């Protein structure tokens, strides 16, 4: 369904010309939105919201004034409003994490200290291999960082785990 089919019958050619000019200014709006946002999806959303507001408020535009400035002002104000709303009302994962996140109990703090102490008892090469792999580094990259072969690194990690298990027992397994 086209935009003109939504408008009342009194839709004038002047309004049609302004709508055409708005479409021509869309790339400039995208470039201006890039000053505020980095993600292409966020930029598209901001420009779309700006265009929707502009078209719904077209009766407030005064012909003879700069349409580009009017659109840029709507875009900037829309961005500022959305920014303030996000700061005030975190959405999505941020809001869920705020509800889920709780302070660690004393037991976990104690376990962390015990683990840190047990890690200091490991040899340097085993501790480094284990911490690299535990941090998410691939075995290949960790082997390069440690200056050894992949098999050697896997052996160091395995021995480090066995040593930690014997030092800590089943305390970390719940």
Mean pLDDT over residues 42-61, rounded?
Answer: 94
% helix, strand, coil for the chain, step of 5 = 75, 0, 25
Q: Which residue did the predictor score with more confidence, 8 or 149?
A: 149
pTM of the model: 0.48
pLDDT at residue number 25: 95
133 and 161 in contact (C-beta within 8 Å)? no
Residue-wise pLDDT tens digits, 64-121: 899 999 999 999 999 999 998 888 876 666 666 666 666 667 777 788 888 888 889 9
């Amino acid at each position: 369904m086209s935009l003109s089919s939504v408008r009342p019958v009194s839709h004038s050619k002047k309004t049609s010309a302004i709508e055409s000019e708005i479409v021509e200014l869309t790339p400039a709006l995208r470039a201006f939105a890039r000053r505020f946002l980095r993600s292409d999806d966020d930029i598209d959303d901001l420009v779309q919201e700006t265009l929707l507001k502009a078209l719904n408020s077209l009766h407030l535009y005064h012909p003879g004034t700069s349409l580009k400035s009017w659109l840029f002002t709507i875009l900037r104000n829309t961005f500022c409003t959305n920014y303030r709303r996000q700061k005030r009302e975190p959405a999505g994962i941020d809001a869920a994490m705020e509800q889920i996140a709780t302070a660690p109990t004393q037991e976990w703090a104690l376990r962390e200290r015990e683990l840190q102490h047990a890690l200091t008892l490991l040899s340097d090469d085993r501790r480094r291999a284990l911490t690299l792999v535990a941090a998410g580094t691939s075995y290949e990259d960790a082997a390069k960082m440690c200056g050894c072969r992949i098999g050697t690194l896997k052996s160091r990690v395995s021995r480090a785990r066995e040593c930690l298990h014997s030092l800590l027992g089943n305390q970390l397994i719940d």
